[in-house]
């Protein structure tokens, strides 16, 4: 197994939750085999940028908002952008600019205990129990191999789809039975 070198840029010193950010990024990279033998740079966003995070994937840089509490959900999402770029460079057919694909792929590899936000970026707030979220996202990536509507399906299984708003909990009984979850 290769090593991922993580370089924290000088700007990280100014981050309000510096220790937390460093700890969480170091933990998160363990879940990204694509980043092995790569150097990942971590920095902070321009103060005028109100995003939680951004990735400059080609240059292997992830940046976070200076005053935002760093969550694993955000960190996994940004690292996933870089991982997707690397998959693309290796010839995999992955959508480079889809935020939803990025989020689904990131959540699919998260241990449930690291999920520290209610909402999934660009997807919404799932109505299913947290421990099912990574399984459902993994299932959606499987489904993607043969279907184009994997995002809609994923949102439906998570109970995030717009169609389901206000309709109460989504029925995923069949899916759970299938998975033995
Ligand atoms: Zn993104």
pLDDT in tens, 26-50: 999 999 999 999 999 999 999 899 8
State the Cα–Cα distance between residues 46 and 127, nearest whole angstrom. Answer: 34
For the chain, what is the mean pLDDT?
91
Question: How many angstroms separate the alpha carbon of residue 8 from the centre of ligand 1?
Answer: 20
In a shared domain, residues 128 and 168: yes
The whole domain housing 11 covers 1-97
Boundary (domain end) residue, out of 60, 82, 97: 97
In a shared domain, residues 91 and 134: no
Question: How many angstroms separate the alpha carbon of residue 180 from the centre of ligand 1?
Answer: 32
pLDDT of residue 165 exceeding 70: no
Question: How many angstroms separate the alpha carbon of residue 107 from the centre of ligand 1?
Answer: 13
Question: What integer pLDDT is reported at residue 167 of this predicted model?
Answer: 47
Mind listing the pLDDT tens digit for each residue in 84-125? 999 999 999 999 999 999 999 999 999 999 999 999 999 999
Boundary (domain end) residue, out of 42, 66, 97: 97
In a shared domain, residues 93 and 124: no
In a shared domain, residues 145 and 57: no
Q: Which residues pair with 40 in a beta bridge?
A: 6
Question: How many angstroms separate the alpha carbon of residue 53 from the centre of ligand 1?
Answer: 7
**Secondary structure (H, E, C), the chain:** CCCCEEEECHHHHHCCCHHHHHHHHHHHHHHCHHHCCCEEEEEECCCCCCCCEEEEHHHCEEEECCCCCCCHHHHHHHHHHHHHHHHHHCCCCCCCCCHHHHHHHHHHCCCHHHCCCCCECCCECCCCCHHHHHHHHHHHHHHHCCCCCHHHHHHHHHCCCHHHCCCCCCCCHHHHHHHCC
In a shared domain, residues 89 and 13: yes
Across 122-146, average pLDDT = 97
Question: How many angstroms separate the alpha carbon of residue 99 from the centre of ligand 1?
Answer: 5
Confidence of residue 162 (pLDDT cuts 50, 70, 90): low
* Dihedral (Cα; 10, 13, 14, 17), 10-degree rounding: 140
In a shared domain, residues 22 and 87: yes
In a shared domain, residues 3 and 59: yes
- % of residues, the chain, pLDDT over 70: 88
Question: How many angstroms separate the alpha carbon of residue 51 from the centre of ligand 1?
Answer: 9
In a shared domain, residues 89 and 169: no
Say which residue, 162 or 78, is predicted with more confidence. 78
In a shared domain, residues 88 and 136: no
**pTM score over 0.85:** yes
Question: Is 167 a domain residue?
Answer: yes
Question: Is 20 a domain residue?
Answer: yes
Question: What integer pLDDT is reported at residue 107 of this predicted model?
Answer: 98
pLDDT of residue 172 exceeding 70: no
Query: What is the domain count for the chain?
Result: 2
Question: Is 113 a domain residue?
Answer: no
């Amino acid at each position: 197994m290769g090593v991922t070198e993580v370089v924290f840029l000088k700007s990280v010193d100014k981050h309000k939750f510096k220790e937390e950010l460093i700890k969480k990024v170091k933990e998160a990279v363990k879940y990204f085999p694509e980043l092995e033998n790569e150097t990942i740079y971590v920095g902070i966003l321009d103060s005028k940028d109100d995003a939680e995070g951004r990735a400059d994937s080609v240059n292997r840089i992830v940046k976070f908002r200076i005053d935002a509490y760093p969550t694993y959900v955000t960190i996994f999402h940004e690292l996933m952008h870089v991982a997707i770029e690397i998959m693309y460079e290796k010839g995999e057919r992955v959508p480079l600019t889809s935020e939803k694909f990025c989020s689904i792929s990131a959540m699919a590899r998260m241990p449930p205990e690291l999920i520290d936000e209610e909402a999934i970026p660009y997807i919404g707030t799932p109505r299913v129990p947290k421990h099912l979220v990574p399984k459902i996202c993994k299932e959606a990536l499987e489904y993607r191999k043969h279907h184009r509507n994997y995002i809609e399906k994923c949102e439906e299984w998570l109970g995030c789809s717009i169609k389901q708003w206000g309709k109460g909990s989504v029925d995923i009984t069949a899916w759970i039975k299938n998975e033995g979850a």
